[in-house]
Amino acid sequence: MSEQKLFQVFINKIEFDPAEYLVSSKEHELTDFQKKTIESATSIMKENIIGEIQSFGGNLKINEEKFKELENKVNEELKNEEYADLKKELKNYIKLLREIIEKTCVIIIPIKEMPWVNVLFRTVPRIIFNKKLELLDNAIAYYGEIKCVISRSTIFGKMKDEKPLFAPIMGAIDLGGYRLDESQKEPKSQRYSYISAIINSFDSIITKNHLAKYHEGYQRHGDPICDFLMKDNELMNSMERITSGIESNRLTSDIAIFSIAIPHSTDKTTLLLVTDEGRDPNKYSRCFEALLRFSAESCNVPVQQPQMPGQVSPPSSGAIRTPGGQELKSWTAEELAEETQKRMSSQPDIPTWTEDDLTKFASERETALPEGMEVWTEEELQELSKKRQGGLDIPEWKIDENMKECAKCGYSLRPGWSRCPVCETPVGDKPESEPIEPHISELSEDSEEHTVEETKKELSEDIKEEKVDQ
């Protein structure tokens, strides 16, 4: 198992959730990092703020006992032998978790004359492993809920050497095992763990495949929502200016997703979110502008949506049955996505291939000789044939030059034979060629002076003369 996958297994077992360490700024003072970040996030919309801002930040002092339990859990997990090669580096994990808590903050901003009732902001600190542990604290996110429901979840992302694009989610969103509780009355945009699962889904292979499939399989066209959004030049220009994981060098892949719109039909709302991983101070205005334009245009997208090309409609009612009456089990798109996620999490050591590996495999298939396959020369094959004969040196069969062949049938004749025992042809005679009688039609065509009747008469007379001679 690679070090990156082993690290992923480790953090999945730890199950760290920064939401458990958030406290209100009214009750406890925020860190300097949190105060500075909140000021930068709200200064761009001061004229539109119509109420009190609610801010929350990670706090270690209040949650000291909780964090100590987490620390004990980390130390206990590190005792496993599977982490032997990473144990030295993973000891810094606790230290970085402290920094994540201190750099985590969320604010709810009441604003006027905007598509949302409230717009939310949060930091997105994360720990990555690339030969060593590293904390990235530059990513931010703006998000909110608009009072309309689009017909399909839609993502926006970038592909290397291609223009950015909107693409539909064809199925369920890969939330990494997180299950949304619909019974809670709290707005979905204010559930920290749910928003974290959405942001983490941007790095999921399943989510990236939706973007790649729409780009390659559907030629970036066919979905009414995406077609509508991509016609808006101002929206596209705003989204293209976002700093994604590709430009920030966080991702090594060629696809980066950084925005999403998720409809919630039960609430009759659509949650929209945009992230930016830039390190410059302009990322706040850049990210907020992208969210604002995305939200405004989403309120005007087509309501009805036809099926995607090749998509099959589910049965209108009832279970699927065979002609014999047997009921077959069926799955929804959400259940299939959940099963896929379970398999991926239970098998973290599934091999992956780089572009170089795939190119190498393709060249091997073209030559039909994979690397390392043994190849034999003609001499080696002859030697191998002798070994399979038990070591006997059996000479090849050759024609006996002292024996002649019958001129007519080709039978081998022994010396002294005067006739062929098969066809009775005398030895030394040349083979007689059989006479070829011309066809009547050919005679009639070649001879202009004779008619067909005359030709038949002459042939019959010739035959009678032959019989008399015999």
Q: How far is CA 58 from the centre of its chain?
A: 36
> What's the angle, vertex CA 55, arms to CA 104 and CA 36, rounded to 5?
60
356's enclosing H/E stretch is helix 355-367
Distance (Å, rounded) from C-alpha 70 to C-alpha 16?
8
What is the pLDDT at residue 378?
Answer: 82
Q: Dihedrals φ, ψ of 458, to 5°? A: -65, -40
What is the pLDDT at residue 411?
Answer: 81
Q: How many residues make up the chain in this entry?
A: 470
Domain ranges of the chain: 1-137, 141-305+342-347
Buried b (16+ CB within 10 A) or exposed e, 55-79: bbbbbeeebeeebeebeeebeebbe
What is the pLDDT at residue 51?
Answer: 86
Query: How many CB atoms are located within 10 Å of the residue 101 CB?
Result: 21
Amino acid present at 224: P
Q: Is 89 helix (H, G, I), strand (E, B) or coil?
A: helix
Dihedral angle, C-alpha 425, 426, 431, 436, nearest 10 °: -60
Whole-prediction pTM: 0.66
Q: Contact, 243 vs 283, CB < 8 A?
A: yes
Query: How many CB atoms are located within 10 Å of the residue 180 CB?
Result: 15
Amino acid present at 359: T
Query: How many CB atoms are located within 10 Å of the residue 148 CB?
Result: 16
142's enclosing H/E stretch is strand 140-146
Distance (Å, rounded) from C-alpha 231 to C-alpha 238?
13
**Tokens read off for 68:** 């100590």
Of the candidates 200, 63, 39, the one whose C-alpha atom is nearest the C-alpha of residue 121 is 39
Splitting the chain (470 residues) into consecutive groups of 10 residues, what average pLDDT does each group show? Answer: 84 92 93 95 90 94 94 91 85 92 96 87 93 92 95 95 94 89 89 96 95 93 94 96 95 94 93 97 96 94 57 46 56 73 63 71 64 74 73 63 79 81 79 50 46 58 53
